[in-house]
Amino acid sequence: MKTYGILLSAGFGTRLKPLTDKIPKPAVPFLGRPMAWYAMYALKQTGVATLAANVHHLPDIMADCLQKCAQNLGLPEVHIFRENGEILGTGGGARSCLSLIPDADRYIIYHGDVLCNADLRAALKSHDSSGCDVTLVVAPRPQNSKLGMIGLDSNHHIVQIRDWFRADYDVSQLPVPACFTGIHIIEHRLLETLELGKNICLVTEIYRRMLEQNRPINACMTDAFFADIGTPETYFEAQNAVWNHPELLSGTDPRLFPSKLVEDWSEFCHSICRSVV
């Protein structure tokens, strides 16, 4: 089975402003490396060498970051799809990348701003054994989490998908509540059915529609480190966690850590922004 990787790198990173006014979110440094580097490292460790990525917000900076990460990791050049005009969402962006790397059987779609230490080889094995067109890598939902919920049945098939960043749901209504980590495995035959050039959300549109049609979606549960870097608070929480326990995230190198974690978020943002102006 031929597996390629797609890095979703087009988002505006609105919740991480003002830093993302000058730096695309997946290019934001995390303990010495851009966040996208960790996704690319994870894909390489799984044996995935052919990668494509979509860029939209600050596209030149993002594209340059991805190519430098690939060079650092000894990967071939990343195929870049530039979204001109309207942003295309996760589905539209992934579908556009498909035109650059069309000859795979399946794709690992990795959100470029997510940090996760999940075993992708185990996820691929779970996907293959499930017979499903889609597998989502999910993590246990922390208590009081603001992340939206994925509901699993006892067979680890997804039975419910609820909105992202809503905390007003009754967890007891879900058979097994979980969080989506931002890592999908999707078959070529499904991805190619999406309309090219259209803004589409994979999770809330395509996957929900699949559930409505009784088409199974597999879930691979991981208890590995997972951080959604959305806000300054979650950014620093994740950095502190990995700073104190580098083993949490594969590829971290304490030799690259800054001399100290910067506590003043505003000054940190401005110092980084000044460096790229």
Mean pLDDT within 80-93: 93
pLDDT score of 276: 45
Residue 41 lies in a domain: yes
User: Is 138 contained in some domain?
Assistant: yes
Given a contact cutoff of 8 angstroms between Cβ atoms, the answer to whether 31 and 244 are in contact is: no
Cα–Cα distance measured from residue 243 to residue 224, given in angstroms and rounded to the nearest whole number: 16
Does residue 84 register a pLDDT over 60? yes
259 in a structural domain: no
192 HSE (CA, 13 A, CB side): 11
* Residue 30 domain flag: yes
Count of alpha carbons within 13 angstroms of residue 27, beta-carbon side: 29
pLDDT at position 271, please? Answer: 57
pLDDT of residue 215: 94
Tally the domains of the chain. Answer: 1
Mean pLDDT (the chain, rounded): 86
pLDDT tens for 216-270 read 999 999 999 998 887 888 888 898 899 999 999 999 998 888 765 544 444 555 5
pLDDT digits (tens, 9 = 90+) for 207-231: 999 999 999 999 999 999 998 887 8
119: domain CATH number is: 3.90.550.10
Mean pLDDT of 4-17: 84
Q: Which two tokens stand for residue 188?
A: 């070529």
Residue 241 lies inside a defined structural domain of this protein: yes
On whether residue 265 sits in a domain, the answer given is no
Cis status of the peptide bond prior to 102, with omega within 30 of 0? no
How many helices (H) and strands (E) are present in the chain, helices listed first? 8, 13
Q: What is the pLDDT of residues 162-191, one digit of tens each?
A: 765 455 555 556 667 788 999 999 999 999
Mean pLDDT check: name the lowest of 105-114, 133-142, 205-214, 225-234: 225-234
Q: What is the pTM of this model?
A: 0.89
**Residue 271 counted as domain residue:** no
Domain assignment of residue 156, given as a range: 3-253
| Within-domain flag for 267 | no
For residue 277, what pLDDT is reported?
39
5, pLDDT greater than 80: yes
